[in-house]
Amino acid sequence: MAPIELTRGDLTEQHVDAIVNAANSSLLGGGGVDGAIHRKGGPDILAACRTLRAGHYGKGLRTGQAVATTAGRLPARWVIHTVGPVWSSSEDRSSLLADCHRNSLAVAADLGAATVAFPAISTGVYRWPMEDAARIAVSTVREVDTSMFEVVRFVLFDQRAYEAFEAVL
């Protein structure tokens, strides 16, 4: 099993093979970490997303699924775009959040990535409670075969997120 690492910082500055983007179904950008990735990574990422939309992903990327593009000018080699579920207090969507992590790692393995970094998917615009998202993220990564990776890293943007993940780990 690959070690799970926690870092407080900016996902777009990670020198890893693949970073995971908390995207939306359109694949055409947005705010939060998605906005930062496109802003810093430059237009090649959006061009690659448009190509995906013109091909196999004509209807967009479904919640829980994952697909890779170039990372443009970012230090990473690839961006793996996944779509987290929007938090709901009336419906349990945990399995979709687990799917994001599982499917992103499967794409990373297919790419031959050795190092992978995740943000706290769904915990921003999509309002998932941080402690619960941390529990689902860490437990899903622990359940998957990660022996092909050197490290799986969670990059937490603020102290509250870092502490939530640390408590689970």
Residues forming the site for ligand AR6 (CB under 6 A): 10-12, 22-24, 30-34, 36, 84, 119-126, 155, 157, 161
Beta carbon of residue 54, minimum distance to ligand AR6 (angstroms, whole number): 19
Cβ-based nearer residue to ligand AR6, 109 or 130 = 130
Name the strand (E) or helix (H) holding 19. Answer: strand 18-23
Cβ-based nearer residue to ligand AR6, 22 or 113 = 22
Beta carbon of residue 124, minimum distance to ligand AR6 (angstroms, whole number): 2
Instruction: Reply yes or no on whether 34 is catalytic.
Output: yes
Count of all residues that appear for the chain in the document: 169
Instruction: Tell me which of 17, 34, 44, 92 is the catalytic residue.
Output: 34
Cα(87)–Cα(160) distance, rounded to whole angstroms?
Answer: 18
CA nearest neighbour of 129 among 83, 88, 81: 88
Beta carbon of residue 161, minimum distance to ligand AR6 (angstroms, whole number): 5
- The residues, ordered by sequence, that sit 6+ positions from 128 with a Cβ below 8 Å of its Cβ are 84, 85, 87, 97, 121, 122
Cβ-based nearer residue to ligand AR6, 86 or 114 = 86
- The residues, ordered by sequence, that sit 6+ positions from 59 with a Cβ below 8 Å of its Cβ are none
Q: Which residues are catalytic?
A: 34
